[in-house]
Amino acid sequence: MKITIKRGNFIDYNFEAVVAVLFEGDKTLKGAALILDRECGGAISDLLAYGDFKGKLFQSAVLYTRGSLPSKRILVMGLGKKEEFDIEKLRGVFSKAAQKIRELHVEKFALSIDLGNTDFSMDKISGAIIEGILLGLYKFTPFKTVDTDKETEIKELTIVEPDPESLDIISSSIKEAEIISGAVYLARDLVSTPSNEMTPTIMAGKACEVASQMGIEIEVLDDVEMGKLEMNTLLAVARGSNEPPKLIVMKYSGGKGGEKPVVLVGKGITFDSGGISIKPSAKMEEMKSDMAGGAAVIATMKAVAGLKLPVNVVGIIPATENLPGGKALKPGDILRSMSGQTVEVINTDAEGRLILADAMTYAHKFKPAAIIDIATLTGSCVIALGDNIIGMMGTDEALKISLKDASEKTGEQVWELPLWREYEELIKSDAADMKNVGNRVAGTITAALFLKKFAGDYPWCHLDIAGPALLAKEKPYIPKGASGVGVRLFVQFLKEWAQKNQ
Ligand code: BES
Ligand code: ZN
Ligand code: ZN
């Protein structure tokens, strides 16, 4: 979809459809809605006066202008109550508007960022509108050969703005929203692609494509190189599969030379069968999404380079399948990790922490300012926090506060769980330094405590995205399926990190 800006007003141009928004309970029309209403003889006022439209959040109505203004249709959208309004709702409203426009088979539409007075700045409003629209229109269709022509694609969106001084602000927020949404699309595509088409080798190839497009350094370590580094917990997981594992290492150097990087580590299990501790077959297909953390890291690297953020970032993605082959890891096996610490494997389905352990140890070579890992790590996190929330645990208060702040701004919600010492008892092993699972209680916390042992003394934070990585039900601007969660959170976090370290 091409996005352009035109100076002027709706009434100056001929569009197939224009969008007008109203707050619930507003007695008088404001902003762009007021201008449109005057031109079309009070049709929007009538909607309100007859009680047909109350401006409730996500409510919509289509009006036909019948020659009263150059554009053919007005799509009226409800913003909900003004006192409850926020940027997250705005993303949702415009996503729903764009989905409605697509249902109407309209290929070109227009909108104004003039919502009437709100507490939000113009760049925030325009950024949220464009992000909401782009994210909400995502579809994953490369494997569909039938029913492909049911929905038309929207070809063009025009933003009309009367104030010439606002055009630059709007234009740069559009560019930013396009870069970020493009990265989220990449993450969603990587996750949606089934594991037969998204092996560790293919995933590494995709990371190489991103790197060469964006001018990011990349190195992909194979099993021989990982063997030399004694990455035994990672290699032990990989051994059950015939697909060779890869350790993807991407380096973006937008910050000052010598400035310590933020290292992002993303779990890249391209399929998790559970291994010898095999999973039940119901919903096992969803385990193609077990590389969503890795996908978020690759996509974040793309966005950060696209935005030219002045920060140094390293992305590390341990990528492998977890299968029960003849050489597979077995319960009871004891592994010596790259860090030298030994691990007794009780359950081969707790494989994420095994591959992350070595990837996090590898991260130390960059002397990071912070390590943040992101992983579809535990089913317990979904039980504890539900489908939509990221579980956050970590050792560094400032890092957690920054991530919470980025979370509030992006709507990618995080909730902190504690890493109290008492829980450590649960992963003590009689035979090795630790075991890879506790008993059934506090599964998200024991997984994080396991990872903590590989963070060294570096500020570290862990994000468990088992819930939000793959949505069973759509959200206002996230269609059902792969959500691309983590990308917008990381980009926002790194933007603020860069500002603080300027
Ligand atoms: N990939 C799964 C976690 C997961 C579950 C992600 C559901 C998304 C949705 C992970 O590797 C796993 O299997 N974890 C086990 C750990 C257990 C054996 C301690 C789990 O959560 O059941
Ligand atoms: Zn597993
Ligand atoms: Zn897993």
pLDDT in tens, 330-388: 999 999 999 999 999 999 999 999 999 999 999 999 999 999 999 999 999 999 999 99
Tell me which of 30-44, 225-239, 455-469 is least confident.
Answer: 30-44
Ligand 1: nearest atom to the Cα of 376: 6
Tally the C-alpha atoms within 13 A of residue 235's C-alpha that lie toward its C-beta. Answer: 17
Q: Are 187 and 487 in contact (CB under 8 A)?
A: yes
Residue 31: predicted pLDDT: 86
From the CA of 274, how far away is ligand 2's center (Å)? 5
What is residue 501's predicted lDDT score, i.e. its pLDDT?
85
453: annotated active-site residue: no
Is there a contact between 42 and 30 (Cβ–Cβ < 8 Å)? no
Q: Would you state the pLDDT for residue 95?
A: 98
Which band of pLDDT confidence, cut at 50, 70 and 90, is reported for residue 10? confident
Residue 288 has pLDDT above 80, yes or no: yes
Q: Which residue has the tokens 């902190």?
A: 416
Structure tokens given for 237: 């997981």
249: enclosing H helix or E strand: strand 246-253
pLDDT score at 11: 86
In angstroms, the CA 362 to CA 251 distance is 14
**464 CB under 6 A from ligand 1?**
no
Which ligand lies nearest to the CA atom of residue 284 in the structure? 1
353 catalytic per annotation: yes
Sign of torsion, CA 69 70 73 74? negative
What pLDDT sits at residue 152?
81
Per residue in 289-314, pLDDT tens?
999 999 999 999 999 999 999 999 99
320 - beta bridge partners?
A: 269
Catalytic pick among 30, 81, 279, 330 = 279
Task: Decide if 239 contacts 200 (C-beta within 8 A).
Answer: no
- Structure tokens that stand for 389 in this block: 């929330």
Interhelix angle for 443-452 vs 352-363, to 10°? 30
The finding on whether 347 has its CB within 6 A of some atom of ligand 1 is: yes
In this prediction, residue 285 has a pLDDT band, given cuts at 50, 70 and 90, of very high
In the predicted structure, residue 280 carries a pLDDT above the cut 80: yes
Predicted pLDDT of residue 494: 98
Which of 428, 401, 410 is closest to 484 using CA atoms?
410
CB of 291 closer than 6 A to ligand 1?
Answer: no
Which of these ranges, 2-6, 70-74, 114-118, 358-362, has the smallest mean pLDDT? 114-118
Place 27 in a pLDDT band, splitting at 50, 70 and 90. Answer: confident
Q: How many CB atoms lie within 10 A of CB 207?
A: 29
> Does the pLDDT at position 446 exceed 80?
yes
Query: How far is the centre of ligand 1, averaged over its atoms, from the C-alpha of 466 (Å)?
Result: 8
Binning pLDDT at 50, 70 and 90, where does residue 119 land? Answer: confident
Half-sphere exposure of 390 (CA within 13 A, CB side): 32
Residue bearing the CA closest to ligand 1, atom 5:
379
Closest-approaching ligand to the CA atom of 466: 1
* Residue whose C-alpha is closest to residue 158's, from 18, 367, 317, 329: 18
Distance of CA 288 from the midpoint of ligand 2 (Å): 11
pLDDT of residue 117: 75
Residue of 89, 267, 353, 435 marked catalytic: 353
Neighbours of 119 (CB within 10 A): 8
CA distances from 385 to 155, 378, 390 (A): 38, 11, 8
Mean pLDDT taken over the chain: 97
Mutation test of ligand 1: which of 277, 283, 349 has the most ligand atoms closer than 8 Å to its C-beta?
Answer: 349
pLDDT band at 74 (very low <50, low <70, confident <90, very high): very high
pLDDT, residue 492, reads: 98
Residue 38 banded pLDDT, cuts 50, 70, 90: very high
Mutate to test the pocket of ligand 1, among 377, 381, 436, 451 (most ligand atoms within 8 A of CB): 377
Per mean pLDDT, which range of 42-56, 260-274, 346-360 is the poorest? 42-56
Q: How far apart are CA 264 and CA 52, in angstroms?
A: 50
pLDDT confidence bin for 424, thresholds 50/70/90: very high
Give yes or no for residue 358 CB within 6 A of ligand 1: no
Lowest mean pLDDT, pick from 36-40, 235-239, 357-361: 36-40
